[in-house]
A and B are shown apart, each in its own frame.
Chain A
Amino acid sequence: MVDNGSGVPADQVPVAFGQFLFGSKFRLKQTRGTFGLGGTMAILYGQITTNKSVQIITSTGTSRVYEYRLMIDIQRNRPVILDRKVHTNKEVNGELWHGTVVEFHLEGDYYRAMPKILDYLIQTAIVNPSANIAFVDPRGRLYKFDRTTTKMPPPPKETLHHPHGVDVETIQRMMRSTECGNMLDFMKEHFHRVGEQTSRQFLDFAKVDGKSDPKRLNPDEIVELVQAMKNFNDFLPPDASCLSPLGDDLLGAGIQKELQPDFAAAHQRKPSTYSGYPFIVETAIAFGGRIPSRGEIVLYRFANKIPLLYDESADVSWSVIKSINWRRYKVAPEMPVAVFVHMCSTKIPYKTVGKEIIADIPEVSREILNGIREVARRLELYLSRQEKVKREQKRLTIFSKYLPKIAEFSTRLAGKENVPDIDLLLRRAKRFEQEGS
C-alpha cells in the first residue's frame, strides 16, 4: 500500500503499526476508524497466516525517509523492531516526498473476496472523489479510480466530550489526569460547550459542590455525576465542527464519476445529535447509468467515509428505504435507482462489533428518512420531467405521423394538385403541448 499522505513521524511508527491501542480518547473528532485497530489488525492477520514481517517506509516530508521491519509480539502486545533504516529524502519536482508505504503478506481467498474488495474500492472512490486510487490484484489486473476533483472537505476539528456522551470509565480517567483543582473548573475545562454559567447550573442540579476536588470523588459519586449529566437538559447541543461531511457537490461528484447516472441529487442534513454525539446525515439518489436494475433500490451505505458492505438488510437505512412508498416518487421497482446514505459522527452507533450496520436510533433514522425524502422528491421532479418530455415526443410523433396522411388523402379526395402546408399545424401542435403543460 502506498499513499502520499502526511506520513507517520518516525518515533510513532512501531506503536502505530505494531501495537493495539486501547481506551478511548479525551478529545473527539470524526475519524475513519474508532479505536485505531484496523491497520494493526490487518498486519496481525498477515503475521499469523504467513509469519512474515511488515515493512513500513514513511516520511513526513523532511529530509529523511524511515524504513522499518516489524513484527508484533502478540502476547505482550508490543512491536518488535527487526530492522530500521534511515534514507535521505530526495526532491522530486522541487518537493520532498511524504507519505507511507506498507508492505505485508497475508493469506486469503481472493476469488471469493474479490467482489467485496472491488465494491469496497468503488464505494471508497465514490466518497473520496479527490483521491486517485490504483489497485493491482493478485491476478495482475490493474483497477484505477481517478480523481475528478481536487476539492476536499474541510478536515474535522478536535472537540471535547459532550456531557451527554461520556461514561463512568471516561470520567474516571479524566479525573485521574486532570490538572483542575475543583469541579467547576473541571466541567469547564473538559467538556464541550460548557462555560461558567452552564457549569454552575449543572453542579447545582447534580448537588455537587463546585469547590470540591475532582480527584476526591468516590466511585459512587462518579456514577451519580454521570447519571446527572445524562439527566440535565440545559447543556448546549454539540456543534458539528468536529465532523467532516462531504457536502452535496463532492458526494454528487463521486457518484457521477463512478456510476455515471443520468440523474443524481445529493443533500446534506443539518447537524443533529444523539446521546451527546453530533452527527450529520448525507443522502443522495441516482438514476440510470451504471446503476443496475435489480428489482429493488440499490443501497450504498457509508459511515465516516467508510463503505459498509455487509448485512445491509439489518441496517437502519434499509428499513427506512423499505418504509417509504416509492410509488409516490414515481419510482418503480424495476428502475435503476440507487440511494446513498452517509453518516458522519464522532461516534457511529453501530449495532454490532463488526461495525457494518448502523442501529435504528430514532434521531438517526429520522434524519435518514428526511434526507432520503428530500432527494427522492428531486428524483421525482426529474422523472416527471422525463415523462413529460417522452409524452411530448410521442405526441409530436403522432401528429407528424398522421397529419401528412390526412393532408395527402384530403388532397387526393378533393382532386387538388398540391398538398396544403401542414408545417404550421405541426408547430401549433407543439405549442399546444407547451401551453397545456
Chain B
Amino acid sequence: MSKKEVKFSAKERRKEVLEKLEGLGSEFYAQMEKGHFPHILMPSRSTDNIYYSPELRQYVLGEKRVRRSAGNIRHLGPFTQLVWSSYFAHELTSNQKTSTLRDVYYSAQAYDISFKDQAESDNILTDVETVISSSREDFNIFPEESSAIFGDLTIEYTIPNYAGRRLNLTSHPDGVMIGPALTTAELIETTADKVIAIEKGGLFTRFIEERVHEKFNALLVYLRGQAPRSTRYFIRRLNQEMGLPVYIFSDADPWGMHIAMVIISGSANAAHLTELTTPDAKWAGVWASDITGYKLPSDKLTNLDMKRLRELERDPRYKGDIWQREIDIFTKIQRKCELEAFSRYGLTHIVDSYLPQRLIEMGA
C-alpha cells in the first residue's frame, strides 16, 4: 500500500488561487485610486511567443509581454471581461461552486457583461489562466466532457457536503467520473503500482471486467479520446503525488499517438500552464509495429492521416526514439488500427497476451 508521497492540499491550492485573484483586484484598485487607468502586463500567447522547452518537455511561453489597459478604447471591453471573469472565478472558488465554460458564457449576462460568443469568453478565461498562471480547473471551471477512473485508490473529498468523506475508486464497476469533486479530492492511499490509461470506453470496461486492475495491480483511467485537462491534471497527480508510472494505450494512428503525447508533453494551447503534463508517462501502444507484430486487422492511412504524420514528424515533442521509430513504420506500412482490433483473436486476447507482454517490455 503506497501512501501519498507529495503533499497536496486542495485547501491550500484554493487559498493560493484566491490570493492571486484578490491580488489582481487590489492591483487594479490601487491603480484607479492613483487616478490611473487600470492596466496589466501579461505574457503574450501569440504563436510567435510559444517555444518548446526541452527541460520541461512541454511548450512554454517566451519573454514577450502584452500590455492591456482600460485607457485604450480597443482594450476596454476585453479588460472589463477580464476583471469580471477574475471576479467570477473568485466567487466560484471561494464558494466552492463549479461551473463550465458554457455556463460562464451565460453567467456573464447576469452581470450585464457581454461576450460575443463562447469563443470570446473561453479566450478571456485563458487570459485569466495566463495572468495568475493557474488552470481554470483551479478556479472551478471544468470542461463538459469527463473521463473516468477505476481501481484501488482511496480519496478524500474536499468539496462542501462531502468534505472529509472517503471513497475507494473500486466502489463502482463503471468507474468514477473524474469531475470537479474528484479533481479536488485528496489522494489518500493505493495498492496499485501503475496507472493504465486507455483511449476507448469499450476497452476500459473490458479491462474492469477482466480484472486488469487486480491482475496487473493498476489504476485504470478512461481518457475518452483526447483527454480533458482535468484528467491530464489528475494523471499528473497520480504520477507525482503517488509515484505511479503511467502507461497509455491508444489507437495505432497519428491521432491516437497524439492523445498519448498531449498527456505526456501537453499542447501548444496550454503553453501558459505548467501543471498539466506528465513527462514520465509512456506511450505503451498500440504501436505501428504492433500491427505487423501482432498481425492486427488494419486500414490504410488516409491522406489526412499522412499529412498529420508529417506534421508530427517535425514537432519538437516527437524527438524521442520511440516516436520517430513509430512514425517511420507508419510511413512505411501505411496502415493503422484501433485498440479493438485485438478482438479479432478473441475478447480477452488483449488482456491475456498483449498487455502482460507489453508491460514487461516497458519494464513495468
How many chain B residues touch the partner (CB < 8 A)?
26
Does B26 count as interface, using CB distance less than 8 angstroms? yes
Chain A 215-255 interface 0/1 with B at a Cβ cutoff of 8 Å (1 = within): 00000000000000000000000000000000000000000
Chain A 385-408 interface 0/1 with B at a Cβ cutoff of 8 Å (1 = within): 000000000010011001101110
Smallest Cβ-Cβ distance to A415: which chain B residue: B22
Instruction: Mark out the residues of chain A between 388 and 437 whose CB falls within 8 Å of any chain B CB in the assembled complex.
Output: 395, 398-399, 402-403, 405-407, 409-416, 420-422, 424-425, 428-429, 432
Smallest Cβ-Cβ distance to B77: which chain A residue: A402
B86 to chain A, nearest CB (A): 6
Q: Knowing A398-B76, A410-B32, A425-B35 are in contact, say whether A405-B113 is a contact too (CB < 8 A).
A: yes
Smallest Cβ-Cβ distance to B33: which chain A residue: A420
Does B37 count as interface, using CB distance less than 8 angstroms? yes
Q: Judging by beta carbons under 8 Å apart, are B33 and A412 in contact? A: no
Q: Knowing A409-B84, A413-B90, A429-B71 are in contact, say whether A402-B28 is a contact too (CB < 8 A).
A: no
Residues of chain A within 8 A of B113, CB atoms compared = 405
A393 to chain B, nearest CB (A): 13
Does B83 count as interface, using CB distance less than 8 angstroms? yes
Q: Judging by beta carbons under 8 Å apart, are B32 and A414 in contact? A: no
Does B25 count as interface, using CB distance less than 8 angstroms? yes
Whole-angstrom CA separation of A103 from B70 in the bound complex = 75
Q: Judging by beta carbons under 8 Å apart, are A411 and B25 in contact? A: yes
B68 to chain A, nearest CB (A): 11
Q: Judging by beta carbons under 8 Å apart, are A407 and B76 in contact? A: no
Does B296 count as interface, using CB distance less than 8 angstroms? no
Q: Kindly identify which residue among B22, B26, B79, B87 contacts A402, using a CB–CB cutoff of 8 Å.
A: B79
Smallest Cβ-Cβ distance to B75: which chain A residue: A402
Chain B 81-101 interface 0/1 with A at a Cβ cutoff of 8 Å (1 = within): 001101100100000000000
Smallest Cβ-Cβ distance to A422: which chain B residue: B32
Whole-angstrom CA separation of A242 from B53 in the bound complex = 90
Q: Knowing A413-B25, A414-B22 are in contact, say whether A402-B80 is a contact too (CB < 8 A).
A: yes
Q: Judging by beta carbons under 8 Å apart, are A416 and B80 in contact? A: no
Residues of chain B within 8 A of A432, CB atoms compared = 71
Q: Kindly identify which residue among A398, A399, A420 contacts B32, using a CB–CB cutoff of 8 Å.
A: A420
Chain B 44-86 interface 0/1 with A at a Cβ cutoff of 8 Å (1 = within): 0000000000000000000000000011010011011001101
Whole-angstrom CA separation of A393 from B76 in the bound complex = 15
B139 to chain A, nearest CB (A): 12
Does B24 count as interface, using CB distance less than 8 angstroms? yes
Residues of chain A within 8 A of B238, CB atoms compared = none
Residues of chain B within 8 A of A421, CB atoms compared = 32
Residues of chain A within 8 A of B87, CB atoms compared = 409-410, 412-413
Whole-angstrom CA separation of A265 from B77 in the bound complex = 40
Residues of chain B within 8 A of A411, CB atoms compared = 25, 29
Residues of chain B within 8 A of A405, CB atoms compared = 80, 83-84, 112-113
B103 to chain A, nearest CB (A): 18
Chain B 227-257 interface 0/1 with A at a Cβ cutoff of 8 Å (1 = within): 0000000000000000000000000000000
Q: Judging by beta carbons under 8 Å apart, are B73 and A414 in contact? A: no
Q: Kindly identify which residue among A407, A413, A420 contacts B86, using a CB–CB cutoff of 8 Å.
A: A413
Whole-angstrom CA separation of A399 from B37 in the bound complex = 11
Chain A 114-152 interface 0/1 with B at a Cβ cutoff of 8 Å (1 = within): 000000000000000000000000000000000000000
Q: Judging by beta carbons under 8 Å apart, are A420 and B79 in contact? A: no
Q: Judging by beta carbons under 8 Å apart, are B71 and A414 in contact? A: no
Chain B contact surface mostly? helix
Whole-angstrom CA separation of A398 from B74 in the bound complex = 10
Q: Judging by beta carbons under 8 Å apart, are A406 and B35 in contact? A: no
Residues of chain B within 8 A of A407, CB atoms compared = 32
Does B21 count as interface, using CB distance less than 8 angstroms? yes
Q: Judging by beta carbons under 8 Å apart, are B76 and A402 in contact? A: yes
Smallest Cβ-Cβ distance to B82: which chain A residue: A406
Whole-angstrom CA separation of A416 from B29 in the bound complex = 9
Whole-angstrom CA separation of A412 from B112 in the bound complex = 16
Smallest Cβ-Cβ distance to B79: which chain A residue: A406
Q: Judging by beta carbons under 8 Å apart, are B70 and A403 in contact? A: yes
Q: Kindly identify which residue among A399, A406, A428 contacts B83, using a CB–CB cutoff of 8 Å.
A: A406
Residues of chain A within 8 A of B285, CB atoms compared = none
Q: Judging by beta carbons under 8 Å apart, are A424 and B35 in contact? A: yes
Residues of chain B within 8 A of A406, CB atoms compared = 28, 32, 38, 70, 79-80, 83
Q: Judging by beta carbons under 8 Å apart, are B24 and A399 in contact? A: no
Chain B 152-179 interface 0/1 with A at a Cβ cutoff of 8 Å (1 = within): 0000000000000000000000000000
Q: Kindly identify which residue among B35, B38, B73, B76 contacts A410, using a CB–CB cutoff of 8 Å.
A: B38
Whole-angstrom CA separation of A76 from B161 in the bound complex = 118
Whole-angstrom CA separation of A414 from B84 in the bound complex = 12
Residues of chain B within 8 A of A424, CB atoms compared = 35
Residues of chain B within 8 A of A413, CB atoms compared = 21-22, 24-26, 28-29, 83, 86-87, 90
Q: Judging by beta carbons under 8 Å apart, are A420 and B77 in contact? A: no
Smallest Cβ-Cβ distance to A404: which chain B residue: B80
Whole-angstrom CA separation of A416 from B24 in the bound complex = 13
A114 to chain B, nearest CB (A): 52
Whole-angstrom CA separation of A403 from B84 in the bound complex = 12
Residues of chain A within 8 A of B24, CB atoms compared = 413
Residues of chain B within 8 A of A429, CB atoms compared = 71
Smallest Cβ-Cβ distance to B72: which chain A residue: A432
B101 to chain A, nearest CB (A): 19
User: Which has the most chain A C-beta neighbours within 10 Å: B32, B35, B84, B112?
Assistant: B32
Smallest Cβ-Cβ distance to B80: which chain A residue: A402
User: Which has the most chain B C-beta neighbours within 10 Å: A410, A414, A425, A432?
Assistant: A410
B40 to chain A, nearest CB (A): 11
Whole-angstrom CA separation of A32 from B90 in the bound complex = 82
Q: Knowing A410-B25, A414-B25 are in contact, say whether A402-B70 is a contact too (CB < 8 A).
A: yes
Given contacts A406-B70, A424-B35, A428-B37, 20 further A-B contacts (CB under 8 A): A395-B73, A398-B73, A398-B76, A402-B80, A406-B80, A406-B83, A409-B25, A409-B87, A410-B25, A410-B32, A410-B83, A413-B22, A413-B24, A413-B28, A413-B83, A413-B87, A415-B25, A416-B29, A425-B32, A425-B37
Interface residues of B (CB under 8 A from A): 21-22, 24-26, 28-29, 32-33, 35, 37-38, 70-71, 73, 76-77, 79-80, 83-84, 86-87, 90, 112-113
Closest 5 CB pairs of A and B: A413-B25, A414-B25, A410-B28, A420-B32, A409-B87
Please list 25 pairs of residues, one from A and one from B, whose beta carbons are closer than 8 Å in the complex, sorted by A's number: A395-B73, A398-B76, A399-B76, A405-B80, A405-B112, A406-B38, A406-B70, A406-B79, A407-B32, A409-B83, A409-B86, A410-B32, A410-B83, A413-B21, A413-B22, A413-B25, A413-B28, A413-B83, A413-B90, A414-B26, A422-B32, A425-B32, A425-B35, A425-B37, A428-B71
